[in-house]
Structure 1
Amino acid sequence: MSNYDKVMKLALERGFYFPSCEIYADAPAGFWEYGPTGVSIKNKFIDLWRRELVRRDGMMEVDGCQIMSKSVFVASGHIGNFTDPIVKCTKCNSIFRADRFIEEKTGQRVPERLSNEEIDSLLKNNGLKCPNCKGDFGPVSRFNMMFRVGIGPAGEEAYLRPETCQSIFVDFSRVFKTMRGRLPLGIAQIGKSFRNEIAPRQSLLRLREFYQAEIEVFCNPKRLDDVPRFDEVKNTTLRLFKDGDGAVIAVSAGEAVEKGLIPNRLVAYYLALLTEFYEKTGIDVSRSRFRRLSDEEKAFYASVAFDFEVETSTGWLELVACNYRSDYDLKGHAETSKEKLEVVDPADQQKVLPHVFELSMGIDRSLYTILEHSYYEEQAKDETRAVLKLKPYLAPVLVGILPLMTKDGLGEKARRIHSDLKRDFDTFYDESGSIGRRYRRLEEAGAPFAITVDQTTMQDDTVTVRYRDSMQQVRVKVPDLAQFLRDSLLIK
């Protein structure tokens, strides 16, 4: 069983996530729901994101609408450009996403901006046919991935947003003025986006409805190296990669700018913050890289683009798209809306149409990667112990409260401890089954600690605290438990 399959099994059994509408045979693919443990880790991941990225430099957060007018997506270019190439079998009418089909069958990367004719040639030259019936493919066409909706009885044309950033762009001018903004200004948003994926697969890795954590940094293009806090991250190691260059290059953020590997300090600063953030999530950053995209791979709005990718059992997985979008978005919205979106930069009192650097994070993919990188199997006596070694501040359950037995007052004492702690901490009370089995259930859910109430507790008011990772046990006085747990939540 692969690590992906093991994580999937654990996620289903421990309430992290599961398919939407799974009791119905006609449930559509690409829609997944978070269970209680999944909601907890997701909320804590978002709290960490706000702490390490949003609040660090006083960014502002908005919460935009999920349905937006057609004009927004005309201006953004999504109506004309947000498409994937598809190919249809002439015999059985099966439809496939052409570029992914070629990549899966040949192992070669298909650049995003290849024309239909070039993709047709790749299919033909590689002798690719329909895997279902071995029939020939028809010509490649384009499929727009946005979900169209009709507003009101007249069905006014609108769309579910395919990315969270467009509301940030259309709201920029108002936010800048009302909040007395200064460039560079970071505006962030957490929310759902919707893409009508042709072939969604692998649970959280490719969804039609998914969470994004988006940051758009509005900046003066003349002052991209004017980053006051750059010295705080100049020694942070960035792992840079470009197709065709061979191995990953590990350099400091400062060196990356000096050597021209990254175009300016502003981009390097945010790549460094992103690296530090993911290290705090428990992801093994030695298995990560910033892959610089070629001109053929970049999204239509990007002039410089890096994908933050992490190695998983499914291959290299993109978690964050880091795009320098220049003034593409604000210029498009200004032209379409006929509104002036320039602002005065207090640094030189000159009007400027800001450029934008974007950190577009996939929350669902990030959570899957955290689970996989935290999943361990260890031999304990005569059994295999499956453990999620989650950071305490991300663990859905921080501590389990376990009475060794329920008689002789142990159950009542354990319930009182649970009642006192659950107001401030994520706790779980469990009195069912052997103590060993209860430990295993907590470990599989990622709980860093287990508190056992035993006969000694009734004599000296101490409990046994068991550490998940080392399985070591210590005695702690009951009145000291809250401070013990509080100290464990410190982010280092």
Structure 2
Amino acid sequence: MPAATLDEVVALCKRRGLIFPASEIYGGIANTYDYGHYGVLLKRNVSDLWWKAMIQERDDIVALDSAIIQHPRTWEASGHLAGFSDPLVQCLGKCKRRFRLDTLQEEAEARGEDPETVKCPVCGGDLTEPRAFNLMFQTTIGPVQEDGSTVFLRPETAQGIFLDFKTTLSFARKKPPFGIAQIGKSFRNEITPANFIFRTLEFEQMEMEFFVPPDEAQQWYEYWCQERLNWYTRLGIRSENLRLRPHDPEELSHYSSGTSDVEYLYAGTWRELEGVANRGNFDLTQHSEYSGKNLEYKDPQTGEGYLPHVIEPAAGLGRTVLALLCDAYDEDEIGGEKRTVLRLHPSVAPVKVAVLPLLRKDGHPEKAREIYLELRKRMSTEYDEGGNIGKRYRRQDEIGTPYAVTVDHQTLEDGTVTLRDRDSLTQERIPVEGIADELEGRVTNRT
């Protein structure tokens, strides 16, 4: 069963060093997190699989890594400078805390209460009238703050792609329909960041802008909605915990003719995992106007120019990691003892195979190291000889390692090892000879 509460996942992540609060020795900063060794490997596996789906397995998308700090006019053209804000309210009671009014109203509606009469959720005090709070982080270029030196950390990765659209056309040898993809950090000064790594001040986006002829926009929008939903099931997330939810008309951005969210059932609550939007030609139109540059694509056969429409699948890397952790979290019982296990698909598991000597003597460590050194050339492998074998199995279960190879006395006699399966708990003897091929096949073909 997936995690019943987010607290269970948070505790496991802290205990095993996957993800933990940043700056913790100084008390931390609200919703900033560091990824430890296994968290880094998990996140890297997800981003590699996204690149594989976008670039390696297709010939109509190219890669980009745009700058975090763009020209300030970028955010005027995109509308972020004027309109990228949340409704901020502050408690007039004892606690003086600040909140997003729309979030408080959504929570009140979910409880069956009147959203127009919300109070402070901490102390029950009255709230101020809402005011617009811009979410962009502002900074300056140069040694002194002066006119013209103000810049912003990007709140999304999309605008860098739009700015580089014409440049990419000049060398990529592509024509619409084609896409530009990138993974990168974005920054949002959230009023009330919450829910672990679901909403944080800095986060990584996996974003692709797919440029299409205007009359093909709807069919590509429908295609990418389904394609992105399917990608999550290929990561091992259970289909019953995923859904595609089209936005109601009142939810749509002014430039969007259609937006759908891929949602995941996070600990009993449906939340956005990825958005797929039909953005029309709004962005290229805005940047053409503000820059004075012609961003039209000119068809070499007809000579006609047009601004492509854009289909945008935009996913959060941290949200994907969180969905995988929630979906893989499980508890069962072995020999009367509770076991916590992450049933991660091998494609995303931080470690694919653990090599464990049964004893720290009698030649077991030497043979286990030999096997470990062979396996790590082919896959992410870990060697562990600390503690009894049962505790080492439990540790590997908690970080999601699908297989464990144990070296024992019989290994030295007949050249076989015990192979333990994380999920079924079956143990079988397999020969050391050819073990890398055998395990690579199991990892690759495991469903």
TM-score (norm 2): 0.94
In the alignment, what sits opposite 1:223? Answer: 216
Q: Structure 2: which 5+ runs fail to align?
A: none
Tell me the C-alpha RMSD between the 2 structures.
1.9
Matches within 5 A, 1:223-242: 223-224=216-217
Q: Does 1:106 align with 2:109?
A: yes
Shift of 1:408: 1.3
Q: Which of residues 321, 330, 355 is equivalent to 2:284? A: 330
Q: Is the 8 A contact 1:462 1:476 kept in 2?
A: yes
Change (3 A) 1:141 1:109: farther
| C-alpha separation in 2, matches of 1:347 and 1:105 | 57
Q: Is the 8 A contact 2:378 2:440 kept in 1?
A: no
One-letter amino acid of the structure 2 residue matched with residue 144 of structure 1: N
SS in 2 for 1:310: strand
Shift of 1:82: 0.6
| C-alpha separation in 1, matches of 2:383 and 2:261 | 42
Q: Is the 8 A contact 1:88 1:137 kept in 2?
A: yes
| C-alpha separation in 1, matches of 2:337 and 2:125 | 50
Q: Which of residues 81, 84, 93 is equivalent to 2:83? A: 81
| C-alpha separation in 1, matches of 2:29 and 2:159 | 27
Q: Which of residues 189, 192, 196 is equivalent to 1:203? A: 196
Encode CA deviations 1:420-442: one digit per residue, 9 max, x unaligned: 22222211111122211111111
SS in 2 for 1:400: strand
Query: Which 10-residue stretch deviates more, 88-97 or 431-440?
Result: 88-97
Shift of 1:69: 2.1
Shift of 1:61: 0.7
Change (3 A) 1:209 1:357: same
Query: After TM superposition, what 4+ stretches of structure 1 lie above 6 angstroms from structure 2?
Result: none
Q: Which of residues 67, 74, 83 is equivalent to 1:72? A: 74
Query: Which 10-residue stretch deviates more, 128-137 or 64-73?
Result: 128-137
Equivalent pairs counted in the alignment come to 439
Structure scoring higher RCO (CA < 8 A, sep ≥ 6) equals 2
In the alignment, what sits opposite 2:136? Answer: 146
Matches within 5 A, 1:334-373: 334-346=288-300, 348-373=302-327
In the alignment, what sits opposite 1:377? Answer: 331
Shift of 1:314: 4.9
Q: Which of residues 183, 194, 211 is equivalent to 2:176? A: 183
Query: Which 10-residue stretch deviates more, 317-326 or 130-139?
Result: 130-139
| C-alpha separation in 2, matches of 1:94 and 1:462 | 63
| C-alpha separation in 1, matches of 2:260 and 2:100 | 24
Q: Is the 8 A contact 1:406 1:412 kept in 2?
A: no
| C-alpha separation in 2, matches of 1:49 and 1:132 | 40
Shift of 1:200: 0.7
| C-alpha separation in 2, matches of 1:84 and 1:384 | 44
Q: Is the 8 A contact 1:81 1:300 kept in 2?
A: no
Change (3 A) 1:13 1:133: closer
| C-alpha separation in 2, matches of 1:146 and 1:52 | 31
SS in 1 for 2:76: helix
Shift of 1:133: 4.2
In the alignment, what sits opposite 1:159? Answer: 152
Encode CA deviations 1:371-400: one digit per residue, 9 max, x unaligned: 111111112121112111111121101111
Shift of 1:152: 0.7
SS in 2 for 1:173: helix
In the alignment, what sits opposite 1:97? Answer: 100
Shift of 1:295: 2.6
In the alignment, what sits opposite 2:46? Answer: 45
| C-alpha separation in 2, matches of 1:31 and 1:184 | 38
TM-score (norm 1): 0.86
In the alignment, what sits opposite 1:34? Answer: 35
| C-alpha separation in 1, matches of 2:79 and 2:301 | 32
In the alignment, what sits opposite 1:128? Answer: 118
